[in-house]
Structure 1
Amino acid sequence: MRTPTAMILGLVLASCGLLFTLTGTLAPGWRRLSGFLDQPVDTVMYQGLWTICLEGSSRERRCQVPDQWAYFSARPVRAAQGLMVASLVVTVGGLLLATLGVRCWQDEPRWALAGVAGLLLAASGLLSLIPVSWYNHVLRDGAVLPLPPGPLTVGVSYSLVLTYLGSCLLILGGFSLALSLAHCCGKCRRPRLRAPRPGPARGATQLSGWPWTQPSADNTSPRQKRPPPTGRPGPGDQKAPRPKVGFRMPAPASPRAYTNPLDVLDGEVIRGDHRGPEQRSSSSTLPCDSDL
């Protein structure tokens, strides 16, 4: 048996979702700040869940910047740290169960195990989607997520986008694997086949209500004793002619040869021809150049 398409799709989507969520969790790029008053114009700060990086004009990134505004103490950041780690753990466990359920070394997949793995992957996607949505909702709120002083430009960075995309892929992959539970439930609800009832013994004679099918003492077959139905001729009667139905098709016309009614050789004398003009005109019936 081939691996079902839903299982293959679920494994691929879940693997891509794990890669995106892992990158978004570790990379310092959830929020992007620019426009500092005491820094060069092109200085950009990237804030993540575990570290803060500062990128200057020379495109050199300096991480492990000290947190002077209690950014990591904010409730959205602390919730995101715990939920993202839990999501990664549940995702790894769901992929292990899915690998055992989809079967790469068995004849048939384990439908129930694959369905449970799909539910775990969908739950891990929800665990990562909740902190991403909350963080994006309070992204520009300085009271919830502390900001440095000054008119700063706040924007979404790449890690937040990758985490959001990975959460959606985990949910879709988990739902695709969870469809295996429908096959398992349908297999449980399938009606059992009843054993066939024992029929009559082989060679036994079944009697019916018709008089000509009952067994008789002589060797005459029942078909010979069966009386002919009313209105139909017997075997000795003459068959009446059947009326013809339809219309008569016309006979195809016979092909006619082309004849020339004019004598194009009238008045001309052909060398070696001693016949008169009347004889020549009667025999001139073949087409020639004048017909064209």
Structure 2
Amino acid sequence: MRTPTVMIVGLVLCPCGLLLTLTGTLAPNWRQVSLIPNQPIDLVLEHGIWDMCREQQSSHDRRCGQADELGYFEQVPVRVAQGMMPTSLVLTLVGLLVATLGVRCWQKEPRHPLAGAAGLVLLLSGLLSLVPASWYTHELWALPAPAGSTLVVGYSLVLSYLGSCLEILGGLTLALSFHHCCKEHRTPRLPPSPVLEAGSCSTVGAYHNPRDVLEDERDRQQRSTLPCDSDF
């Protein structure tokens, strides 16, 4: 039996979503702060959910671990992201592990209920990472920042969005495996046809020829010494 398409699509989308979400969680660039008053014009501050960095673009001097003087990490959207993003990553790993056990890789047939359950777990993990990314985007300009500066969305936030959407789509496709279970439950199993049973041949009492009918053929092949010798 071939691996169902929904399982293949789910196992392709979800690991890609995991990689993007992991990068978005760890990289300190959920937003960028530029054009800060009384600072060099090429100075850019990068705010993540775990760290702050500053980079001088002209000299490419980048320094992380900056002090949080404005109370950025104390804001509710940031703290929620610190809790929900790692939880989403753990759930994604669990869902992928369950999915590998349900998808046909080393077994004769896939386990549709197990693959469907893995899809629900992966769907939940995608929602858990989408919620903090959406909340942070909504409060992006309300979070503490130097007065008069310019705020833009960072690449980490974009990757978190993309990873969440891929996990949601992959989880939905794997959850479609439940449809196969419902289809098997609704389809009744027909009893064997009596005509086939009556017409089936039984090997009990059948005649067997004790003589080896191919014995002469094998003897001629063994006696043949010509490389192109053939019998018709």
- TM-score normalised by structure 1 residue count: 0.65
Q: Which amino acid aligns with 1:146?
A: P
Q: 5+ unaligned residues in a row in structure 2: which ranges?
A: 200-232
The match for 2:121 is: 120
Q: Does 1:158 align with 2:159?
A: no
Q: Name 1:83's counterpart in structure 2.
A: 84
Q: Structure 1, residues 216-261: CA drift from partner, whole Å, max 9, x if none?
A: xxxxxxxxxxxxxxxxxxxxxxxxxxxxxxxxxxxxxxxxxxxxxx
2:40 aligns with: 40
Which amino acid in 2 is paired with 1:48? G
Larger Rg: 1
| One-letter amino acid of the structure 1 residue matched with residue 3 of structure 2 | T
Q: Which runs of 4+ in 1 moved over 3 A?
A: 194-198
- Determine the C-alpha separation between the residues in 2 that align with 1:54 and 1:38: 15
Matches within 5 A, 1:25-174: 25-56=25-56, 57-141=58-142, 145-148=143-146, 150-174=147-171
Aligned partner letter, 1:169: L
- Between the aligned partners of 2:152 and 2:192, the Cα distance in structure 1 is 71
Query: What secondary structure is seen at the aligned counterpart in 1 of 2:69?
Result: coil
The Cα of 1:91 is off from its aligned counterpart by: 0.2
Number of residues of Structure 1 aligned to a counterpart in Structure 2: 196
The letter of the residue matching 1:159 is: S
Letter aligned with residue 145 of structure 2? L
Q: Secondary structure at the match of 1:6?
A: helix
Shift of 1:194: 3.8
User: Within 1, Cα distance between the matches of 2:63 and 2:43?
Assistant: 11
Select which of 177, 185, 188 maps to 2:185: 188
- Which residue among 159, 172, 177 is the counterpart of 1:175? 172
Letter in 1 for 2:94: G
Shift in Å, 1:147: 1.4
Structure 1 unmatched ranges of 5 or more: 203-292
Tell me by how many angstroms 1:192 deviates: 2.7
**What code does the residue aligned with 1:187 have?**
E
Deviation at 1:38, TM superposition (A): 2.7
Quick check: which one's helix share is greater? 2
Q: Identity percentage over the alignment?
A: 61
Helix, strand or coil: the match of 1:147? coil
Structure 1 position 197, deviation (Å): 6.8
Q: CA–CA distance in 1 between the matches of 2:120 and 2:181?
A: 14
- Partner residue in 1 for 2:215: none
CA distance in 2, matches of 1:35, 1:195: 80
**Distance (Å, rounded) in 2 between the aligned partners of 1:72 and 1:103:** 45
Q: Higher relative CO (CA 8 A, sep ≥ 6), structure 1 or 2?
A: 2
Mapping for residues 256-267 of structure 1, pairs under 5 Å: none
One-letter amino acid of the counterpart of residue 152, structure 2: G
For the aligned residue pairs, the C-alpha RMSD in angstroms reads 1.6
Secondary structure of residue in 2 paired with 1:40: coil
TM-superposed CA distance for 1:4, in Å, is: 1.3
